[in-house]
């Protein structure tokens, strides 16, 4: 039973990673503003069953401040929990 439980967790982590990648593709290339990209990030994570978000934001890579439309090097960062395991991820926002 423990092996099955680990497999289920791995599948959930993989699915979350796919969702974050999908967010990146959509928001980085299609969102005309940081505000809209942030909305896409929030709505993407909100549809993830079992993922409890700690934070999800788009930052300036230089100083970790909140990104603006004029920020050149944006990065999406997220952290949250799935079945007692904390996940932290980040991805550059390229393709604008």
The DSSP secondary-structure symbol of 82 reads E
CA Rg, the chain, in Å?
14
How far is it, in rounded angstroms, from Cα 96 to Cα 33? 10
Helix (H) or strand (E) holding 43: helix 34-46
What length does the chain have? 96
Distance CA 59, CA 71 (A): 9
- pLDDT digit string, tens, across residues 20-52: 566 655 565 577 889 988 888 888 888 888 889
pLDDT in tens, 43-76: 888 888 888 999 999 999 999 999 999 999 999 9
């Amino acid at each position: 039973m423990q092996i099955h439980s680990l497999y289920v967790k791995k599948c959930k982590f993989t699915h979350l990673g796919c969702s974050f990648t999908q967010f990146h593709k959509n928001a980085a290339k299609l969102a005309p503003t940081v505000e809209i990209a942030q909305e896409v990030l929030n709505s993407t994570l909100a549809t993830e069953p079992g993922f409890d978000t700690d934070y999800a934001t788009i930052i300036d890579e230089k100083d970790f401040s909140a990104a603006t439309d004029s920020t050149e090097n944006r990065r999406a960062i997220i952290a949250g929990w799935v079945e007692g395991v904390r996940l932290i991820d980040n991805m550059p926002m390229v393709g604008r």
